[in-house]
């Protein structure tokens, strides 16, 4: 309580003397679950929206934050870094900036928040708030109070009118709200509108979403009006030059349709037809005189169907096609329009059917991605570098993303060797002597593989656990002995350990072996250097490379090479050992590079999102696919080949959605960043036939 009070005093002292501009940055997703990525924006947006309504507070608008992040191309998972927060704060003209990260575990969400002084980059204070997933407003209120009290302004949920004290909203609603914000940022406003409407239908009192939807609808209305004005201006001269009484009228409008069709200007085609209707053109008027069977109304409806189909407006295609088929059942265009209708119905059915079981499919892909990531730990080339702290992180991922998987998601997982994949981490737990985790793995496997062909393998795993427990006492005695020798062992005891360094590695205490070798070299050895001394140096250098850094180990190796005179009586042993240590050190360096690439510096969310994008594509969920691929491109470090592929696939998903401007922008980005990409030729020919 005292700590919290001190935090308030510090904040108040820093902020209330003079009115200051406060920025609120996005929050890092530290939960390891990609489906919560968008919360990064949602948490910040709700705080900004709420506190902006409180008098006496100047909060930087989120649009400015989004624009700045785009300009400096900030990657995900860096907002919580003080240096990054300072950079954002300066760019936004703020004196202080609040940044944070969130973590989800079971039914609880925790947010770590930092208040940064923009001028100095120093952390004014850091605090933590915790709340239940099904009561997100409680968490929001804690964060809002954190800022408002220290700004010395009155705050309560009732002041902003966005929610009331004790009102609740589930995390799933906030995730939808957050995803809608991200969709709008990506230029996918129509999808954002649909998602917000869906959220409000389930949570009608969620005022943040209701207000956001109203603002979005108003914005879309203005954009549509501006678009219609631009198109109308282009067609004005054409419309004014038409003479509906002329015998050439049919030829005139047919020429316009042909021009618009050949130039892929389908929006203009729809506007042209609407303009014809507005000026009162008789739909029964013959196109080419009385001998013509085609009427103006039939052709307008026909070109409406073509335009709507090309623009991927599937719902409107169905209505327009049904109208055409009903009104003109004997038309020469009947078969073509019927195909449009059938295709639109099929695509909508694919979209609706694709939603079925999607949650379990995504869960299965999450499981697959995390196992693909975590099972690399079992490789000795990686495991040798894993510290206790890093193991705790990997263990938490394994427990939350693998052991907590539901039976339905597990069944949806199409992996052929499920048992082997799920239980590989058991050996990692053995390496760290983690009996509790081993027991959890066995318990989970009993549930997941009950009634399957792998039941006997579960029994074998349980026997393996019992064998380890039997050896645990013996292992503990050996480790206790190593600890004693590391602290105050005799010369003879240390020599015995050093001579058998390799056999002692099985106890996974390289820190103790390192201490024993260093103590022997520094304090215990007397007389001429011998083979045991070389072994001690070998243990010191190689364990330093694994536990601390390869660079530090290299310096030690250079020191050893300068001591060749100490090994005159054992020159052959010395020369051989130097060669072996040099080779081992190079191998460790290569292994460490691989560990950094494959695990430590590799974000498992990349694999999760890649799998998500694949599933969304296969199930015709193009909006979610494009959203996911955009996240991959914008927020993660990918190889050039992966970026090029994601840009190409993003273009295709935008096309399937009818977001043709986004297709062009994405294609341009691909060509600029990767001019020699094999995808460019396909995109170029594709763009030539895309609606303009």
Contacts of 368 (CB under 8 A, 6+ apart): 413, 415, 611
More confident residue, 491 or 9: 491
Question: Domain for residue 162, yes or no?
Answer: yes
The C-alpha angle with vertex 27 and arms to 26 and 33, in degrees rounded to 5, equals: 125
pLDDT at residue 105 in the model: 77
Q: What is the spatial distance between Cα 435 and Cα 437, in angstroms, rounded to a whole number?
A: 6
DSSP 378: G
Please, what is the average pLDDT of the chain?
88
Q: What is the spatial distance between Cα 369 and Cα 353, in angstroms, rounded to a whole number?
A: 25
Question: Domain for residue 488, yes or no?
Answer: yes
333 lies in the same domain as 379: no
Q: What is the spatial distance between Cα 296 and Cα 319, in angstroms, rounded to a whole number?
A: 19
324 lies in the same domain as 384: no
pTM of the model: 0.79
Question: Domain for residue 139, yes or no?
Answer: yes
Question: Domain for residue 598, yes or no?
Answer: no
First to last CA, the chain: 62
Domain of 681 in residue numbering reads as: 621-688
Show the tokens assigned to 486. Answer: 């590391």
Q: What is the spatial distance between Cα 30 and Cα 25, in angstroms, rounded to a whole number?
A: 15
* Cα 592 from chain centroid (whole Å): 26
280 lies in the same domain as 371: no
Tens of pLDDT, residue by residue over 194-240, are 899 999 999 898 999 999 999 999 988 888 788 777 767 766 777 77
Radius of gyration (Cα) for the chain, nearest Å? 33
166 three-class SS: coil
Q: Domain boundary at 168, 184, 216, which?
A: 168
Q: What is the spatial distance between Cα 567 and Cα 570, in angstroms, rounded to a whole number?
A: 5
Show the tokens assigned to 300. Answer: 């307008």
Per-residue CA distances from 504 to 360, 383, 500, 510 (Å): 45, 16, 6, 9
* Cα 320 from chain centroid (whole Å): 39
pLDDT at residue 19 in the model: 60
Q: What is the spatial distance between Cα 213 and Cα 209, in angstroms, rounded to a whole number?
A: 6
pLDDT at 7 over 70: no
Q: pLDDT confidence of 1, banded at 50, 70, 90?
A: very low
Q: What is the spatial distance between Cα 283 and Cα 302, in angstroms, rounded to a whole number?
A: 12
166 conformational bin, left if phi > 0, alpha if psi -120 to 50, beta if neither: left
pLDDT at 153 over 80: no
* Phi, psi at 489, each rounded to 5°: -70, 155
Tens of pLDDT, residue by residue over 646-676, are 999 999 999 999 999 899 999 999 999 999 9
Q: What is the spatial distance between Cα 376 and Cα 513, in angstroms, rounded to a whole number?
A: 25
55 lies in the same domain as 149: yes
Q: pLDDT confidence of 637, banded at 50, 70, 90?
A: confident
pLDDT at 609 over 70: yes
Q: Is the CB of residue 482 less than 8 Å from the CB of residue 507?
A: yes
Q: Which of 225-234, 323-332, 678-687 bottoms out in mean pLDDT, i.e. has the lowest?
A: 225-234
431 lies in the same domain as 502: yes
Q: Is the CB of residue 375 less than 8 Å from the CB of residue 343?
A: no
pLDDT at 341 over 90: yes
Per-residue CA distances from 396 to 125, 419, 525 (Å): 27, 20, 43
Tens of pLDDT, residue by residue over 68-80, are 887 776 655 577 7
Per-residue CA distances from 515 to 483, 488, 509 (Å): 9, 11, 10
555 lies in the same domain as 421: yes
Nearest to residue 617, comparing CAs of 656, 643, 647, 645? 656
pLDDT at residue 76 in the model: 54
Q: Domain boundary at 354, 377, 401, which?
A: 354
Question: Domain for residue 183, yes or no?
Answer: no
404 lies in the same domain as 521: yes
Question: Which run of H or of E encompasses 103?
Answer: strand 96-105
Show the tokens assigned to 31. Answer: 């939960």
383 lies in the same domain as 445: yes
Q: What is the spatial distance between Cα 514 and Cα 526, in angstroms, rounded to a whole number?
A: 19
Question: Domain for residue 203, yes or no?
Answer: no
Strand partners, 115: 98, 125
Question: Domain for residue 210, yes or no?
Answer: no
Average pLDDT of the segment spanning 472-492: 89
Q: Is the CB of residue 46 less than 8 Å from the CB of residue 619?
A: no
pLDDT at residue 12 in the model: 42
Chain length of the chain: 692
Nearest to residue 13, comparing CAs of 151, 219, 115? 151
345 lies in the same domain as 392: no
336 lies in the same domain as 390: no
494 conformational bin, left if phi > 0, alpha if psi -120 to 50, beta if neither: alpha
HSE, side-chain direction, 13 A CA sphere, residue 607: 18
Tens of pLDDT, residue by residue over 519-559, are 999 887 766 678 899 999 999 999 999 999 999 999 999 99
CATH of the domain at 329: 1.25.40
Q: What is the spatial distance between Cα 653 and Cα 649, in angstroms, rounded to a whole number?
A: 6
Tens of pLDDT, residue by residue over 30-45, are 877 778 888 999 999 9
Nearest to residue 340, comparing CAs of 314, 365, 378, 362? 314
> How many domains is the chain partitioned into structurally?
4
643 three-class SS: helix
Question: Domain for residue 340, yes or no?
Answer: yes
Rounded (10°) angle between helices 266-278 and 249-262: 160
Q: What is the spatial distance between Cα 259 and Cα 437, in angstroms, rounded to a whole number?
A: 70
Q: Domain boundary at 354, 380, 412, which?
A: 354
Q: What is the spatial distance between Cα 179 and Cα 196, in angstroms, rounded to a whole number?
A: 9
Q: Is the CB of residue 680 less than 8 Å from the CB of residue 671?
A: yes
55 lies in the same domain as 156: yes
CATH of the domain at 87: 3.40.50.10610
* Beta-carbon count within 10 A of 42 CB: 25
346 lies in the same domain as 387: no
pLDDT at 5 over 70: no
Q: What is the spatial distance between Cα 439 and Cα 399, in angstroms, rounded to a whole number?
A: 12
Strand partners, 194: none
């Amino acid at each position: 309580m005292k700590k919290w009070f001190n935090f308030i005093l510090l904040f108040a002292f820093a902020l209330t003397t003079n009115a200051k501009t406060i920025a609120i940055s996005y929050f890092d997703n530290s939960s390891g679950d990609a489906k919560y990525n968008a919360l990064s924006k949602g948490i910040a947006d709700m705080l900004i929206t709420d506190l902006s309504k409180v008098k006496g507070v100047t909060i930087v608008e989120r649009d400015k934050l989004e624009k700045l992040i785009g300009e400096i191309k900030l990657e995900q998972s860096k907002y919580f870094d003080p240096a990054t927060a300072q950079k954002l704060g300066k760019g936004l003209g703020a004196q202080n900036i609040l940044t944070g990260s969130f973590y989800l575990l079971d039914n609880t969400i925790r947010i770590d928040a930092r208040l940064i002084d923009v001028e100095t980059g120093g952390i004014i204070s850091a605090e933590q708030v915790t709340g239940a997933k099904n009561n997100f407003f409680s968490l929001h209120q804690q964060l809002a109070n954190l800022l408002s009290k220290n700004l010395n302004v009155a705050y309560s949920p009732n002041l902003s009118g966005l929610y009331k004290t004790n009102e609740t909203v589930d995390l799933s609603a906030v995730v939808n709200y957050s995803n809608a914000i991200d969709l709008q940022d990506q230029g996918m406003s129509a999808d954002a509108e649909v998602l917000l409407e869906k959220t409000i239908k389930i949570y009608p009192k969620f005022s943040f979403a209701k207000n956001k939807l109203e603002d979005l609808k108003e914005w879309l209305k203005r954009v549509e009006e501006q678009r219609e004005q631009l198109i109308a201006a282009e067609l004005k001269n054409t419309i004014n030059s038409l003479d509906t009484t002329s015998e050439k009228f049919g030829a005139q409008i047919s020429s316009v349709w042909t021009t618009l069709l050949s130039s892929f200007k389908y929006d203009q085609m729809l506007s042209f037809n609407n303009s014809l209707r507005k000026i009162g053109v008789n739909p029964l008027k013959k196109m080419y005189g009385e001998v013509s069977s085609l009427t103006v109304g039939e052709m307008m409806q026909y070109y409406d169907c073509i335009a709507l189909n090309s623009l991927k407006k599937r719902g409107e295609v169905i209505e327009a096609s049904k109208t055409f088929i009903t009104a003109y059942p004997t038309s020469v265009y009947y078969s073509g329009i019927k195909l449009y209708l059938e295709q639109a119905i099929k695509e909508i059915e694919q979209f609706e059917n694709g939603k079925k079981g999607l949650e379990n499919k995504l869960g299965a892909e999450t499981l697959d991605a995390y196992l693909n990531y975590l099972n690399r730990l079992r490789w000795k080339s990686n495991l040798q570098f894993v510290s206790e702290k890093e193991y705790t992180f990997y263990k938490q991922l394994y427990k939350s993303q693998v052991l907590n998987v539901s039976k339905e998601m597990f069944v949806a997982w199409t992996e052929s060797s499920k048992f082997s994949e799920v239980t590989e981490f058991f050996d990692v737990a053995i390496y760290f002597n983690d009996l509790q985790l081993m027991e959890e793995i066995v318990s989970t496997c009993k549930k997941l593989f009950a009634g399957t062909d792998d039941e006997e393998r579960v029994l074998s795993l349980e026997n393996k656990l019992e064998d380890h427990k039997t050896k645990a006492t013996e292992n503990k005695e050996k480790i206790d002995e190593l600890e004693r020798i590391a602290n105050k062992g005799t010369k003879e005891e240390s020599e015995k350990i050093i001579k058998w360094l390799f056999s002692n590695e099985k106890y996974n205490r390289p820190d103790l072996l390192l201490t024993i070798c260093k103590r022997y070299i520094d304090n215990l050895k007397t007389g001429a250097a011998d083979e045991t001394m070389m072994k001690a140096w070998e243990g010191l250098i190689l364990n330093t490379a694994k536990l601390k850094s390869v660079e530090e180990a290299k310096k030690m190796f250079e020191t050893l090479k300068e001591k060749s005179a100490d090994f005159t009586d054992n020159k052959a042993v010395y020369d051989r050992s130097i060669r072996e240590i040099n080779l081992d050190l190079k191998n460790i360096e290569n292994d460490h590079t691989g560990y950094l690439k494959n695990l430590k510096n590799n974000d498992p969310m990349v694999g999760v999102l890649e799998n998500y994008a694949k599933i969304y594509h296969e199930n015709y969920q193009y909006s979610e696919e494009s959203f996911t691929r955009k996240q991959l491109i914008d927020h993660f470090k990918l190889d050039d080949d992966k970026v090029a592929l994601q840009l190409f696939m993003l273009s295709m998903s935008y096309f399937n959605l009818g977001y043709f401007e986004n297709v062009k922008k994405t294609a341009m980005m691909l060509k600029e960043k990767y001019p020699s990409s094999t995808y460019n030729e396909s995109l170029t020919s594709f763009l030539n036939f895309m609606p303009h």
